[in-house]
A = this chain, B = another copy of it.
Amino acid sequence: MFELDEAFIATSAALGDLPLSHVRLQDDARYPWIVLIPRRAGARELEDLDREDLAALTDEILAAGRAVRALGMSVDKLNVGALGNVTPQLHVHVVGRHVADPAWPGPVWGHSPALPYTPADLETVTAAAGAALGL
């Protein structure tokens, strides 16, 4: 049975579930950033998903990209990454990057501690992201 790794709970807010993935907003006000976690027990690598799940994940990555663009921050480039070196449960980051963001042009992962949203902003942004994803 799929069980969400607790590491995601400390760093992100739940947006809901798409057909394959549990979807979360990364709690870092510096980047519009969505995390997709396929609800498949034991999955660590993309190769652990079957063909149908991989197609669903592709759709969900594109949808997350559209949602990231809908959050009102400037997005010059999307960054999509499946790393999992720290938290091995399979997950895909979809991050909107801007030429003036703190980590540009490097990756956001491991760059610097998150700057959490204020509670009011977190509520606004999770509502906007959820709406953009139809959740």
A interface with B by C-beta (< 8 Å) = 44-47, 54-55, 58, 61-62, 65-66, 77-86, 88, 97, 104-107, 109-110
Contact = CB atoms under 8 A, between A and B. Distances in A.
B80 A62 contact: no
Given A97-B85, A106-B109, A109-B107, A61 B79 contact: no
- Binding site of A, secondary structure by majority: helix, strand, loop or mixed? mixed
Most chain B beta-carbon contacts within 10 A, residue among A55, A62, A85, A97: A85
A107 B83 contact: yes
B79 A65 contact: no
A74 to B, nearest CB: 14
A65 B82 contact: no
Contact of A84 (B61, B77, B82): B77
Contacts of A81: 79-83, 107
Given A84-B77, A85-B79, A107 B105 contact: no
Nearest to A93: B81
Closest 3 CB pairs of A and B: A106-B110, A85-B105, A81-B81
Given A58-B58, A107-B107, A110-B106, A65 B45 contact: yes
Given A54-B58, A55-B58, A79-B81, 4 more contacts: A46-B65, A47-B78, A78-B82, A81-B81
